[in-house]
Structure formats: structure tokens, C-alpha cells
Amino acid sequence: MSFRKRVKKEVLIIDGAMGTLLQQRGLPGGWCPEEWNLSHPEAVKEIHKLYLEAGADIITTNTFGAIQLKLADYHLGDQVKEINQAAVKLAKEVAQPYGAMVAGSVGPLGKFLQPLGTMTFEEAYQQFYEQCAAMVEAGVDLILFETFGDIGEMRAALIAAADAGDVPVVASFTFDETGRTFTGTDPETAAVVAERLGIAAIGVNCSVGPRQLEGVVRKLTESTNLPVLVSPNAGMPEIIGGKTVFRETPEIMAEYAQRFVDYGASILGGCCGTTPKHIQAIYQQVKKLKPKCRNKRFGLRVASRVKTVTIQPSGVPVAIGERLNPTGKKALQAEIREGKTEITRRDALTQVQAGAEILDVNVGVGGVDQVAAMERAVQAVQVLVEAPLCIDSTDPTVIEHALKLYHGKALINSVNGEENSIETILPLAKRYGAALIGLTLDDEGIPPTAAGRLAVARRLVERTEAMGIPRDDLMMDCLVLTVSAQPEGVPETLEAIRLVKQKLQITTSLGVSNVSFGLPNRVLINAAFFAMALNAGLDAAILNPQDQRMMETLRASAVLTGRDVRAEKYIAIEQQTHNGSKMETTGEQMKASTPLDILYQAVLSGDKDNIVSYINEALKTGLSPMELLDKALIPGIEEVGRRYGAGIYFLPQLMMAGETMTKSFERLRPELAKGPAKKAGTVVLATVKGDIHDIGKNIVSVMLANHGFEVIDLGKNVANEEILRVAAEQKANIIGLSALMTTTMVHMQEIIKLVKEQGLNCKVMVGGAAVTEHYAREIGADGYAIDAVEAVNVAKKLAS
């Protein structure tokens, strides 16, 4: 029986940790675990067999890091196919007598995709495709993407897997104690983005123990009808007596597995620190249980990296901001032609602050490379605001390029009933997991009657569902014509809205301002028609959210039509307005009036594209470089750090602000060199020997440099002797050590001991995923930092 059939009928047990058991069998620290598929196949097979005897229905291949990019760190980059296929063969040989399934394990790349990093979608796609294709060819039963924290990377992985072959795919994310991934994605958003990319199940694994994952699992099962996998660590790792210890017992893991099944999970297992004993206990606790049936309609959901917006027939109507459209906007047209994004960024922020929940993005300017223009706009906006994006273009190439870049579930504006539109746009929505706005026009134009528009809408629904896209992901625009030219059209539009909702059970949208074209006092006409459309059941409107009358009409109508239950949203917004307060968002309204204000806001919003020009303008006013740093740039990055610590900002905002500060320092460095040097201290930074993970360390490097430290970044997998040599030569104030794996953390203690033995006059601070404050104290470190922001604070104290 296939995975898809079994997971609906029974609770499935998946295996536990591989690396832990390989180490027990002699895998040296710093050695490539996946290479053992070739050199120590019997050890790998033995581990598989232990899990199968413990009750596992699914065993995972020893291929978590068997992707070209990671294998290259061990000079094995040309053996991707050989290593992955050997792993599948080993697992299948052992699994066959037990009737078990083999899941091909695929881990993250260890690099950020654009705009957070330098890796392109195509580069990431190719990495994942190569590994998945090798395993599919070898006969793997399913593919398991596990321990992913970046939704953009997961999108590339899932699209690659779909192209690699027709096997079920499971997407498993890692969440921290806050209930989000390290790039800020919550469980609902992870589900919304991933489930439309063809996955057979979604899950959570690693990072923390079962106790900390309870809330995540509950939210995940509430957010999707897909089967849910849960594979927590056996608690958080601790180093005791030089050995890695995970404290959660098999009994505790089994107890929580029972709770997870009660919430709706149907694939249970373990990650770091779990052993066959843990899996056996889970098997005994939950194997006889039946999966819960969940069949909930969620409405149309779109998502950014950090936020999901739901449009429901009975919910509060949603405002889609229209101002990122150059039609009739000469300044925006000029900016698009010049390849800039200043107005785009400003209008994105102000629209969100005015109440827009989704932003429509259009770059339709004649004579412009619209693919490049859309790339600039999407990249600038998606790291600036939490609102999901609506990709607005008539060119399928522009739409596809934007969908590749977008780290969420976008809304496409639009598809219509013309055959060419259906054949080009629907496949894009299917491939990239996007929702759609459908226009009720076809090859014969816009039907003059409501019944005619309903017929077009019905055909679009049928073709959409035939493509494998659920009807809830299609929102219909019944099209309003200019009332001054076709007054009979308004009643037909309103009736079409009613019919589409009643007959097709889908949501509706409208570009409201079309109705008033050519008339005086357009705001009045727009607001009156908008109220009528809302009464007819309109669910979303593309409008100017800074038009106060329109937004007030939306909120009041939602109360009067019973869609804002108990007027909760209306009251909250009115109270906020009355108090004169605005909620903090991921950006600031760009109303700064002085050069220093402009620089401060640019850092807060991560405006790396425009920061140099702002600095140039500020210097022209007579402000000194030190004034720019002390009064705007440094306060700006410190405020970013505060918001990150408070959970207002997430890693993407922190990184973009860091890049903005880096560009600031590059521009000001020649100016600062003319005056007295001002340096916070010198830090030698390194990921310790045997550890090839450096994402967190790289972020720390940028943040320290942006706070005035001279950073000497030695990279990853750095020998103890090299770290000490450079620290001595550079007279470093601080040595910063990073480690992800518990097997490499021991080198931190070795380095601290050598610093003391050699009498180096420097402090040592440590950090990394598995490092704790308790461990830092135990090994004699002078400081511990849980993240990049805290690393800056610790470094300042140690250097003072």
C-alpha cells in the first residue's frame, strides 16, 4: 500500500536520529556522515534495522547533507548521485522484509536565497533537483525535506522535487520556542505556502523537545487538512562529562506522541537524541490509534514569509492596496525606468499602515524590462512589509519570474476566460502554488449581464479545478465598468457578485475605482458604490487604502452586514485611531523631515538600495560623518535590535538592516579615515574545527561590524591553532566561537583552555544552535550569546 493511502488509514511511525547512532559506531567528529553509505554500509544498515525492529513504518536514508553544496565541503561534491543512491539501496534492502517504506532525507542548503542571501532560486532548485532525482531513480518511496527554517528555500525544494519524479513529498519545518522558524514563519503560514506545492504531508522536527512543540503541533493541525508529521528532539542537548546528553526519556516522548495524535498528527517519530528505544515507546503508545479526519474549508489564503491573510465569504472584507501601480503616476513611472525603488518602498509602507492587508504590485511601464523591474519591486517589498503580495501583470514571463522570487503564497492578478490566458496562467499558479483573481471576461469580451459573467466564472472554476487547483484559491472579479458611460452596468456587476457567491461558493474581488472614471468628486462615487458592493457580498477590493472614506466604508459595512462579529475589528481600529497610536510594523512610515530622520528610517526599513544617496545628501547639509553615525545610523541599528528581541522584527529585517549599515560604513569609511579612529574593539570570529555551518556566525559578523567592531572572520571549520594565532597577531579583544553540532562544541573548551595557557589578553564568547548558557559557564567562556543581537551586547561588555 502506498504512503498516501496508509497515512489516511493508520498512524505511521518514522525512525529517529541517524547521526547520534553513527557516532556511537565510530563516526569521527567533523567527518561526513553520508560518506559512510559507501565506506561503512553495514553500520548504516544496522541502524536502519534497529529502528525497524522498534516498530518504524518509515526509515529515512542517511542523506540529510548529501547535497552537492554540502558534500563539496568534504571534497565529495562529484558523488551526489553515488552517495544518495547507495543510501536508498541500503535502506530498501533492510526495509523490504518488514514491509516498511523508505523516505529520502533532504536537509537545507545552509545558505540563504535572495534577497536575504546571494543564492538564486535557480541555483537552489538545481541543488535539490539533483539530489531528489538521484533518490527517485533509486526507487525511494517518498522524499522528506526536514529541518527547514526558510520558507523560500522550502519552496525551491518542493518545486524541484515535483520535477524530479512522481513520489510523495513531506515538508517538515523546524520551529523555535517562540513558535516560529528562524526567519519568522509561523505554523499556519508554513502550511499555507507548502500545501499548495503538491506535498503529501507537512511536519515539524528538530530544534526543541516535545514539550516546547505542543503549541506548534496544535496550530499546524488546525491550519491544514494534510497529514502532520511530528519528530521532536529528545529535549535540548547538554554536554555532561564531555558527552552529549538528551534528557527526554522514551516514556516522555511517547506521552507527548499521544497528545500529538489527539491534536491530529498521524506520523510520529524523533529527531536528534532519539534512539530505537524512543521509537519503540512511541510505537507502543500510538500505533493502534487511528488518524483524526480533518476536512475544513479555510477560504482563500495568501501569505508572506511571516503572515497569512484569509479571505472568507463570511469574514471581514480585505483591502488590497492599489498604489504600487504606475498607471497615472508619473513619479513612479520615472522611478521604474531609472531602476529605483524609493517610491515603491514608501508607498508599500504607507499602504500597510493605512490598513491594506495585501499589496498589488504592477510595473507596467512601456519600454522597460518588466521582468527586471518586477524583480526589484518584489525583492524590495517582501522584506519590508508583512502583507502578502498580489502579482499584477499581463505578461506570463513577468508573473513567473515574480513567483520564483516570492517567499510566500502570492495572489496572481489575473486570469480570465480567454483560452490563451487559461493555458498560460493556470499552469503558473499550479507550479508555484499561487492563488488567483479571475476576471469575468472571455474571447468575446465582458458579458453585459450578470448571468453571462456567472457563466465565465463557472468555466474558470471548472478549468481551475481540472488543473488541480482548489476552487477556494480562485477569487472572482465581476468587473465594474464606468458608470458615466454604461450606467446599466453597475446593477449587473452587483448581481454578478451575488450569483458567483451563491452558485459557485467562492470569494469575490473588485477594482472599485473604475466605476467613477471621468466623473467629478470620484471619491464620493467610489465610496457609495463600494458600500453597495459590500452589501452584495464583496470579499476583497483593490483600492487606495489612504482614502479614509473608503476604509471607513469597508469597516462600517462589515459591522452592518454581520461580517465583523461583535464589531471587534471596527472597535479596535477606532480605539487605535482615537488614541493617536499606530502599531509597530516591520517598517516605518517614511515621513521623515530631516536628513538624520531619513537615515534612521532607512536603517529601520533596510533600505540598502537608497542609503548611500541619503548619506550623500546628508553630508551636503554640513553634517559630519560622526554625526550621521552617532545620531542616526547607530541608533537605527540599535532600534532594529530592540525590535528583533521583542519579536516585532524577524531575521530577514535584521539581515536587511545589517546590509544597509554595511553599505553605510563602506560609504563613510573614507570620510571617517580623515578623523581620529573610533573602534569598539577587535573580534576574531570562527566556526570551530569540524563544523561546516556558518549562517549564524555570518550574521553575527555583520552585526558586530555595524556596531563599530573590527571583525576578522576566519570562516568555518577552523583549527584551534589558527584561531589562536590570528587572535595573538591581531591583538584581539575577543574571540567569538560558533558551533552547531554537539560533536564540535568540545573544541570551544579546548580553545578557552589554550587561551589561558598561552596568556592571551582576550575574552572568549560562544554561541550556536546547540550551545547553552549553562554550557558556556561550564567551559569557562567569558560570554554567551543566543543570537546576533545579543552577541553585540555581550561584545560591548567584554570590550569595555
Per DSSP, what are the bridge partners of residue 60? 103
**Residue 589 in this model has a pLDDT that exceeds 50:** no
Amino acid 581: pLDDT: 47
Coil, strand, or helix at residue 24? helix
The angle at the Cα of 791, spanning 788 to 794, to the nearest 5 degrees, equals: 160
Residue 621, C-alpha cell as written in the block: 547639509
pLDDT at 180 over 70: yes
Provide the 10 A C-beta neighbour count for residue 354: 18
Instruction: Give the model confidence (pLDDT) of 275-301 as tens digits.
Output: 999 999 999 999 999 999 999 999 999
Output Rg (C-alpha) for the chain, integer angstroms. 28
Helices vs. strands in the chain: H and E counts, helices first: 32, 25
The pLDDT tens digits for 4-39 are 999 999 999 999 999 989 989 999 878 999 999 999
Q: What is the pLDDT of residue 590?
A: 46
Ordered structural domains, the chain, with CATH: 3-287 (3.20.20.330), 315-558 (3.20.20.20), 595-673 (1.10.1240.10), 681-799 (3.40.50.280)
Position 743 confidence tier, pLDDT thresholds 50, 70, 90: confident
Nearest to 678 by CA among 660, 665, 697: 665
- pLDDT value at 741 more than 80: no
- Which tops the pLDDT comparison, 109 or 703? 109
Share of the chain above pLDDT 70, in %: 97
3-state secondary structure 694-749: CHHHHHHHHHHHHCCEEEEECCCCECHHHHHHHHHHCCCCEEEEECCCCCCCHHHH
DSSP state of 293: P
- Closest to 15 (Cα-Cα) out of 52, 45, 66, 46: 52
Mean pLDDT score, 260-286: 97
Q: What pLDDT, on a 0 to 100 scale, did the predictor assign at position 207?
A: 82
Q: What is the predicted pLDDT for the residue at 242?
A: 67
State in Å, rounded, how far the first CA of the chain is from the last one.
65
pLDDT of 585 over the 80 cut:
no
What is the helix, strand, coil percentage profile of the chain, to 5?
A: 50, 15, 35
pLDDT at 247: 83
Give the percent of the chain with pLDDT over 90: 83
Q: 93-97, 403-407, 666-670, 735-739: lowest mean pLDDT where?
A: 666-670
Type and span of the H or E element at 654 = helix 651-672
Residue in this structure with the C-alpha cell 524590495, named with its chain if needed:
380
Tell me: cis bond preceding 168? Omega within 30 of 0 counts.
no
Per the annotation, does 206 bind a ligand?
Answer: yes
Which cell goes with 547? 482614502
pLDDT tens digits for range 671-721: 877 766 668 899 999 999 988 878 888 889 988 988 889 999 999 999 999
Per residue in 126-178, pLDDT (tens digit) is 999 999 999 999 999 999 999 999 999 999 999 999 999 999 999 999 999 89
Given a cut of 80, whether residue 439 has pLDDT beyond it is yes
Question: Which three three-digit cell numbers place residue 744?
Answer: 564540535
**59 pLDDT above the threshold of 80:** yes
Question: What is the model's pLDDT at position 578?
Answer: 66
- What's the rounded mean pLDDT across residues 227-249? 83
- Tens digits of per-residue pLDDT, 331-356? 999 999 999 999 999 999 999 999 99
Number of other CB atoms surrounding residue 338 within 10 Å: 10
Residue 106 has pLDDT above 90, yes or no: yes
**Poorest-confidence range of 141-145, 525-529, 772-776, 778-782?**
772-776
pLDDT (0 to 100) of residue 580: 54
Cell numbers given for 310: 484569509
Check residue 97 and give its pLDDT: 97
Quick check: helix, strand or coil at residue 686? Answer: strand
Nine-digit cell string for 102: 523508505
Residues 189 and 198: their CA atoms lie apart, in Å, by 16
Does 511 or 577 have the greater pLDDT score? 511
| Banded pLDDT at 48 (limits 50, 70, 90) | very high
Distance (Å, whole) CA 383 – CA 651: 10
